[in-house]
Amino acid sequence: MDLDTIRAMDAADPLREFRERFELPEGVVYLDGNSLGALPRVTAARMTDVVSREWGQDLIRSWNSNHWIEAPRRLGSKIARLIGAKDHEVVAADSTSINVFKALSAAVQLRPGRSIILSETGNFPTDAYMMQGLAHFSGGRLTQKLLPADEIPAALNDQVAVLLLTQTHYKTGRLHDMAALTRAAHAAGALVIWDLSHSAGALPVDLNGCEADFAVGCGYKYLNGGPGAPAFLFCAERHHAHVFPALSGWFGHAAPFAFDDAYEPGAGIDRFQCGTPGILGMAALECGLDLMLEADMAAIRLKSQALGDLFIALIEARLTGFELASPRDAARRGSQVSICHKHGYAIMQALIERGVIGDFRAPDILRFGFTPLYTRYEDVWLAIEALAEIMQTGEWREDRFATRSAVT
């Protein structure tokens, strides 16, 4: 495949006009939207308005006059449209880690006679750490169990309270079969929590179609909400009335401004709010959500798969010494491709210096994320060209590329 053919693919791309609505530095090929999404052009102006007018001029009145108080539910309803949920089943709040704890503690309440909280080895660490913390906090009532992914179905028994899985694996991009695993867990009487951090905004998700119980996810990857953007939590409507939140903060109270001494859970999904929402982060995230909702998710998924397929084809045609870590079958892969090399960190740093930005995950994974609203097919071509030159010249061997930064 030549560059002219690839440019023709970009010209025919139904999503091509979205690229101009993001701030993308000249000369940079950005393939790390699976870690931090690019900045929508409208966000800076919106943030200026929130800071200068809503906060600067309207001050505390903005909780009412500018509808700050409604932001967690308003954004939650927009996220719901991207993940196959009802408007009143999702709230934007806190971080993914905190929402994992909320969902886990809620799930074990709903299965009081069961003691095992189950996940897979190699899941994103914060999920496992929250499980470990909850098990420790329970004083021995709960036990964390981590198993290889292919052993999960057989481990679902009458002692498993909840299964926590990430739909799209953060290192490899491998997709779990959400519907099949949810059915298997329910058949064993267990509940399921899905971490959608690498799925929401990247591929079609149908939580209610799969009868999922809980889900969490972040706002700063494919939803383009900015660094540290608010996360989200989904709880199926059928569970709302039966959960007393372990993190029972005042914003989750039925009447937060009554200032009662005793906590009374808010109605429905509101009970999963905790403290005062971060309005600046909410404002930035809403810009990303509004942009995402303009696009057709089916078109996003088709382009994502095509970008990944092109990356794999070009790397295998041009390079040796790398091992594919992601599924070759696009239907089993999220919106990233990962490759392995024992000197992966140094190679990625050399790429970044050339303006091709991906990232590295220990011990040997180079990750390349494809965000179809702004990633071009030509970007994939340019990335492989740069990688081929780096390997041919050996420039990655320079000592400076082996020095580890705090964030990899």
Report d(CA 207, CA 404) in Å as an integer: 39
For residue 330, the model assigns a pLDDT of: 98
Catalytic residue among 18, 22, 220, 360: 220
Contact yes or no for 377/302 (Cβ under 8 A): no
What interhelical angle do 377-393 and 297-318 show, nearest 10?
Answer: 20
Residues of the chain with CATH 3.90.1150.10: 3-30+296-402
**Nearest CA-CA partner of 31 in 327, 354, 286:** 354
pLDDT at 408: 86
Choose the catalytic residue: 114, 171, 174, 367. Answer: 367
Counting other chains too, the contacts that 142-147 makes at CB distance below 8 Å and 24 or more residues apart are 142/108, 142/115, 142/116, 142/117, 143/115, 143/116, 143/117, 144/117, 144/119, 145/116, 145/117, 145/118, 145/119, 146/118, 146/119, 146/120, 146/121, 147/118, 147/120, 147/121
Secondary structure E strands in 96-136: 116-120
Give the span between the Cα atoms of 319 and 162, in whole angstroms.
Answer: 43
Q: Is 141 a catalytic residue?
A: no
C-alpha to C-alpha distance for 278 and 129, rounded to whole angstroms = 24
User: At residue 166, what are phi and psi to the nearest 5 degrees?
Assistant: -95, 125
Beta strand 336-340 with 356-357 is: unpaired
Length of the chain: 408
86 classed as catalytic:
no
Query: Is 124 part of the annotated catalytic residue set?
Result: yes
Is 195 an active-site residue? yes
Q: What is the DSSP letter of 17?
A: G
Q: Kindly give the pairing relationship between strand 232-235 and strand 90-92.
A: antiparallel
Choose the catalytic residue: 78, 145, 171, 221: 221
Which H or E run contains 90?
Answer: strand 90-92
Catalytic residue among 32, 195, 270, 379: 195
Map residue 27 onto helix, strand or coil: coil
Q: What does pTM read for this prediction?
A: 0.97
Helix (H) or strand (E) holding 40: strand 39-40
Q: How many Å separate Cα 251 from the centre of its chain?
A: 24
CATH number of 46-294: 3.40.640.10
Q: Which helix (H) or strand (E) holds 297?
A: helix 297-318
* Catalytic, out of 124, 214, 222, 311: 124
pLDDT given at position 1:
83
Structure confidence at residue 107 (pLDDT): 98
Residues 59, 63: Cα–Cα separation, whole Å:
9
Q: Please report, in tens digits, the pLDDT of each residue of the chain (408 residues total).
A: 899 999 999 999 999 999 999 999 999 999 999 999 999 999 999 999 999 999 999 999 999 999 999 999 999 999 999 999 999 999 999 999 999 999 999 999 999 999 999 999 999 999 999 999 999 999 999 999 999 999 999 999 999 999 999 999 999 999 999 999 999 999 999 999 999 999 999 999 999 999 999 999 999 999 999 999 999 999 999 999 999 999 999 999 999 999 999 999 999 999 999 999 999 999 999 999 999 999 999 999 999 999 999 999 999 999 999 999 999 999 999 999 999 999 999 999 999 999 999 999 999 999 999 999 999 999 999 999 999 999 999 999 999 999 999 998
- What's the CATH class of domain 3-30+296-402? alpha beta
Q: Judge contact between 215 and 199, C-beta under 8 A.
A: no
CATH 3.40.640.10 location in the chain: 46-294
